Every structure is written in C-alpha cells, then in structure tokens.
C-alpha cells in the first residue's frame, strides 16, 4: 500500500513493515540551497542534552535536530522511517529493524547496528534515566549484522515503534565518558551541536552531510527558552525570533493583527484530564465523581474561556491515535449531580483542586469557573495554585482531591498513558488507581496486532468512561505563531517545534 503525499517514502502498514526509498543529491547542491538563521522561542527550559533523560516537549524539539530516532511519526500519526528503513514484528515478542546504510554521526563515526544495541541497552539498564521505565520489557538487543537488529521483549510490546520515535540514537563511544559526551554531543541529525547557555539558549549549526537530502534549509538554528508567553510574543513581534509555541487563545487576535506574523493552530494529541485522588474520601465514591462530572459545563469552558480553541472529549484517547473511539460527550446535568450527592449522603463537600501554576492556557480562570459550577450543586472548591514542583510533590503525597493536568501523547500511542495512570504500579504514587480488569486489558493490548490493540483500548475506555477516575473536559488545540519569513513550517499536533526542512526568506 503506498503513502500518497510522502516524498521519498513508501511504507506498508498492517504487517508492521515499513520500507523507505531515498534519493541522492550532490552535497554541493545542498549547501548552495542552505542559507540564513532561524531563532525559535520555546516555552520550557531545557535541562539536559541526553535524549534518554527527559520527557520534556521543548527538549525533544531541540534534541530531535541533533539526534535521529529509528522511526519518525507524521502529523497524521503514521510511523515512518528515520534511521531504520524498515521494521517488522516477527511475533508478539520479537521485532526486527533494518537500518539505513551510509549514515554517519557528526564526528564521522558510522551509524551501524552497534549504535542501536548500545542506545537501547543503555536506556534499559541505566534505571536513573527518566525514559528507562518504558524499556524495562526489553529482554535482548541483538546485532544480526551491521544493518540488522533484533529486539526481543519479556512480554508483548506493541508500542515499541511509537516509543522509539522519542529516543535519539547515540554512538557507542558515548559510553566511554558520558559526562564529556553530553557536554558536546554528536548525533546523526540535520544540525550539529554548537553551544548551550544553560537556562537561556542552544545554538546549532547545519550538518552539511545529512543523509536526508532535503534538509537542513538554514545554516544556523537557535532555540531560546522563554517561559513567559508575553515575553515570547513580544520578541516575535519585535522580529527577534521567528516562531513561538504554546500561544494562548486570548493572544491569537493580537498576533494575527501584527504585520509579518502568522498564527497556526491544529488539534493536539492531548486530552485535558483532571484526576481524582482515589484514596481520599471524595474520590473513593463513584457517585461523587459522577456528580462532579455532571456539574461541569464543558461547552461553556470551550466557548467562553478557550474561545473555541479546544474540542469536546468523546473518549480519553484523542482522535487519530490507536484506540480512539466515540463514546459520546459527557452530559451537563446539575440537577442530576445534586441528586447523586444527596444519594451519597453529602450535604456539604469540599474539594481541594490543585493546579500547576501557569502550565496550561487559562487554567486558573477555568478552575475558578469550575469552582462556581460545583458551588451551584453544593460542592465547595478550594483552589490551590502551586508552583509546578510543589504541586507534583503534593500529587505524589496524595494531598489533593482533584488535580488539573493534561496528557500530550508524545509517542502518538496511548500505551504510556494507560500504563502510567491505570496500572497499580504506575498509579501507586499518583492517583492510587487499582482495577484488575483494566490492568489485564492493558497487558492484552500490548500485542503488535493493531486490531487487537484497538479492541482492548476501546474496552478500557468504556470502563473508565463509566467509572470516571478522571474528568475529561476537552481536547487541546496547539497554537503557534511564526514570522511570515519562514517557509514550510508545520504546526505539530504533539507541540514539537521541528525546523529540519523550514527555510527563511
């Protein structure tokens, strides 16, 4: 089956095999087409140059220009070749990857199967790495020859290709002195690392020998870290930077009205999900959880506070991802909410609603609106707007009734979401969720067969939809603002700012 619209790539879906063809072009021609510098302003500070030691969207945006993964994911949720030309599930616990030939790291070291073996074993074995927990099911990583690697797992791991989109490949020499390597890292990506001023910016330079003939388009790329949206937007309007992420809905009209700036928005692979603390009295009672859900007017939040830059939720997994299904919108019914609270014996009820300060668009205003809605059915809400680190500490300790959060499905696969929040091991320091039925379905849904995965994930979501361990208020929309000097910028559903093939006029 072909893939229309994807130049240089053909892939076969369903069998788990992906095949890509490449074109070649003289490097001199590529160098002539490359010119200028792009400066991006990102919302989150980068803390590491190690692709295995973070789950930061901003860090992924930066490091994806330095390191290549084995697989890429497109904006329409298709997994396509990167350093692996093809891959296939041999059986439920065995994957085989055929690697791209002729690729070199920035220091001239060849990219081979040894790189894959080293990278995967490192992230599995070094449990101090933040991404290590994802790869604990890997049993063996075997080099068959220089361009073939076989990975066997302890149990089915159908989401392995998705997770590999977030893991940059390293040269085996990185293991000799990791501290020195990550002070000045080398990858196979379209840009070489130049410098990093901690907390402020990263500078990258074009990799003239990049294996993908169409990239990069510019000589230099700089990422500035500017957490304050007003400061990011001011720098964009002043022409100091060319692209910013995480624009809030109420700033869109101002930016659209600024000469030389374009605003792009796209439905994100993110569902807002405010989770209950299931070990606390209110969270234990499904009638209370359902009453809270019924008392929230989601459409008003979307229309009045987010100005239409959100979508109604119809299942926990957003559209486009495996497992998505339509379970219908949650109803707004305050009368039924009051009846359920009365049935549960609650004449007066107070909920602690914890927020991670300034993390999500309009979150304080949304929480205040929700407090008013819940107050209308007899629930008092105590909003605790805490610094991010403090809020997460309170979540781990279980000191909340409802926690304002979202979940961006960065691997474009819900396995991580289900495993983190709805298994006993994943949730024991979070929500204390524990349902053996869901746990079993998650395990059954990890086979490589997409039809089985879809079926199991639909069953999981039906249980969650009825049980309501979380409130799902809306699917997010990703909003970017860019200089009209940029050419070929793509607004990503996963919030990544990827500039491999972006040119500047």
For 20-31, write each residue's pLDDT tens digit: 333 334 444 444
Q: Which of 265, 264, 289 is nearest to 276 (CA)?
A: 289
Same domain, 422 and 444: yes
- Cα 408 to its chain centre, rounded Å, is 4
Is 303 within a domain? Answer: yes
Return the ∠ at Cα 451 (arms to 449 and 452), rounded to 5°. Answer: 70
Distance, CA of 373 to CA of 296 (rounded, Å): 6
pLDDT at 489: 98
How many structural domains are present in the chain? Answer: 2
Is 462 within a domain? Answer: yes
Asked if 400 and 394 count as a contact pair (C-beta separation under 8 A), the reply is yes
What's the pTM value of the predicted model, to 2 decimals? 0.89
Is 195 within a domain? Answer: yes
Same domain, 58 and 109: yes
Same domain, 155 and 286: no
For 226-254, write each residue's pLDDT tens digit: 999 999 999 999 999 999 999 999 999 99
**CA 498, 503, 504, 505 torsion-angle sign:** negative
E-strand stretches of 83-183: 84-91, 94-99, 138-145, 148-153
Asked if 381 and 332 count as a contact pair (C-beta separation under 8 A), the reply is no
Q: Look at the block and give the residue holding tokens 């990422």.
A: 223
**Beta carbons within 10 angstroms of residue 69's beta carbon:** 22
Same domain, 305 and 415: yes
Same domain, 191 and 281: no
Find out whether the peptide bond into 216 is cis, omega within 30 degrees of 0: yes
Beta bridge partners of 11: 18
pLDDT at 27: 44
Same domain, 283 and 204: no
Q: Which of 216, 227, 172, 177 is nearest to 64 (CA)?
A: 216
Distance, CA of 145 to CA of 143 (rounded, Å): 6
Is 240 within a domain? Answer: no
Same domain, 214 and 285: no
Q: Which helix (H) or strand (E) holds 183?
A: helix 178-183
Beta bridge partners of 149: 97, 143
Q: Give the 3-state secondary structure of 309-375.
A: CEECCCCCCCCCCCCCCCCCCCCCCHHHHHHHHHHCCCCCEEEEEEEECCCCCCHHHHHHHHHHHHH
> What CATH number corresponds to the domain at position 102?
3.40.190.10
Distance, CA of 322 to CA of 415 (rounded, Å): 9
Asked if 130 and 55 count as a contact pair (C-beta separation under 8 A), the reply is yes
Q: Which of 56, 38, 39 is nearest to 47 (CA)?
A: 56
Domain, as residue range, for 352: 268-477
At 412 the three-state DSSP class reads coil
Same domain, 176 and 311: no
**Burial of 186 by CB count in 10 Å (0-12 exposed, 13-18 middle, 19+ buried)?**
buried
Is 164 within a domain? Answer: yes
Distance, CA of 490 to CA of 504 (rounded, Å): 14
Is 262 within a domain? Answer: no
pLDDT at 185: 97
> What CATH number corresponds to the domain at position 425?
3.10.105.10
Same domain, 197 and 274: no
Same domain, 217 and 74: yes
Query: What count of Cα atoms within 13 Å lies in the side-chain half-sphere of residue 76?
Result: 4
Is 246 within a domain? Answer: no
Distance, CA of 297 to CA of 370 (rounded, Å): 8
Distance, CA of 276 to CA of 432 (rounded, Å): 9
**Phi, psi at residue 336, to the nearest 5°?**
-70, -35
- For the chain, 505 residues long, give each residue's pLDDT as a single digit of tens: 333 333 333 333 333 444 333 333 444 444 447 789 999 999 999 999 999 999 899 999 999 999 999 999 999 999 999 999 999 999 999 999 999 999 999 999 999 999 999 999 999 999 999 999 899 999 999 999 999 999 999 999 999 999 999 999 999 999 999 999 999 999 999 999 999 999 899 999 999 999 998 899 999 999 999 999 999 999 999 999 999 999 999 999 999 999 999 999 999 999 999 999 999 988 999 999 999 999 999 999 999 999 999 999 999 999 999 999 999 999 999 999 999 999 999 878 999 999 999 889 999 999 999 999 999 999 999 999 999 889 999 999 999 999 999 999 999 999 999 998 999 988 998 999 999 999 999 999 999 999 999 999 999 999 999 999 999 999 999 999 999 999 999 999 999 999 999 999 9
Same domain, 41 and 21: yes
Is 3 within a domain? Answer: no
Same domain, 494 and 398: no
Distance, CA of 419 to CA of 446 (rounded, Å): 10
């Amino acid at each position: 089956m072909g893939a229309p619209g994807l130049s240089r790539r053909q892939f076969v879906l369903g069998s788990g095999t992906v095949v890509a063809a490449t074109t070649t072009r003289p490097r001199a021609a590529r160098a002539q087409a490359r010119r200028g510098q792009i400066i991006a302003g990102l919302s989150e500070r980068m803390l590491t140059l190690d692709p295995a030691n973070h789950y930061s969207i901003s860090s992924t945006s930066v490091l994806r220009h330095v390191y290549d993964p084995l697989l890429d994911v497109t904006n329409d949720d298709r997994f396509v070749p990167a350093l692996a030309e093809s891959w296939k599930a041999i059986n439920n616990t065995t994957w085989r990857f055929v690697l791209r030939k002729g690729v070199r790291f920035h220091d001239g070291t060849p990219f081979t199967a040894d790189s894959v073996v080293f990278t995967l074993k490192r992230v599995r074995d070094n449990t101090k790495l933040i991404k290590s927990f994802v790869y604990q099911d890997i049993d063996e990583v075997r080099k068959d020859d220089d361009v073939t690697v076989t990975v066997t797992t302890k149990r089915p791991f159908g989401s392995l290709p998705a997770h590999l989109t977030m893991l940059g490949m390293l040269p085996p020499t990185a293991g000799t002195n990791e501290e020195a390597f990550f002070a000045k890292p080398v990858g196979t990506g379209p840009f070489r690392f130049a410098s990093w001023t901690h907390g402020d910016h990263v500078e990258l330079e074009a990799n003239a020998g990049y294996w993908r003939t169409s990239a990069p388009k510019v000589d230099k790329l700089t990422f500035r870290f500017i957490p304050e949206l007003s400061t990011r937007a001011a720098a964009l309007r002043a022409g100091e930077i060319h692209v910013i992420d995480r624009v809030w809905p109420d700033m869109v009209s101002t930016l659209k009205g600024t000469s030389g700036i374009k605003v792009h928005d796209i439905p994100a692979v993110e569902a807002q999900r405010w989770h209950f603390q299931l070990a606390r009295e209110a969270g234990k009672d499904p009638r209370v959880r359902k009453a809270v859900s019924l008392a929230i007017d989601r459409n008003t939040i979307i229309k009045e506070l987010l100005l239409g830059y959100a979508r109604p939720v119809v299942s926990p997994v957003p559209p486009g991802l495996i497992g998505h299904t339509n379970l219908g919108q949650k109803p707004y019914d305050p009368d039924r909410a009051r009846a359920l609270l009365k049935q549960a014996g609650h004449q007066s009820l107070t909920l602690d609603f914890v927020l991670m300060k300034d993390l999500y668009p309009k979150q304080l205003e949304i929480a205040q609106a929700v407090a008013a809605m819940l107050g209308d059915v007899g629930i008092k809400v105590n909003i605790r707007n805490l610094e991010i680190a403090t809020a997460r500490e309170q979540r781990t300790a279980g000191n909340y009734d409802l926690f304002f959060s979202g979940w961006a499905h960065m691997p474009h696969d819900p396995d991580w979401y289900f495993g983190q929040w709805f298994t006993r091991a994943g949730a024991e320091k979070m929500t204390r969720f524990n349902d053996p039925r869901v746990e079993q379905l998650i395990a059954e849904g990890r086979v490589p067969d997409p039809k089985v995965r879809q079926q199991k994930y639909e069953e999981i979501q039906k249980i969650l939809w009825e049980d309501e361990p979380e409130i799902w208020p809306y699917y997010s929309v990703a909003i970017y603002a860019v200089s009209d000097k940029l050419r070929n910028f793509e607004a990503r559903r996963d919030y990544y700012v990827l500039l491999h093939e972006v040119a500047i006029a």
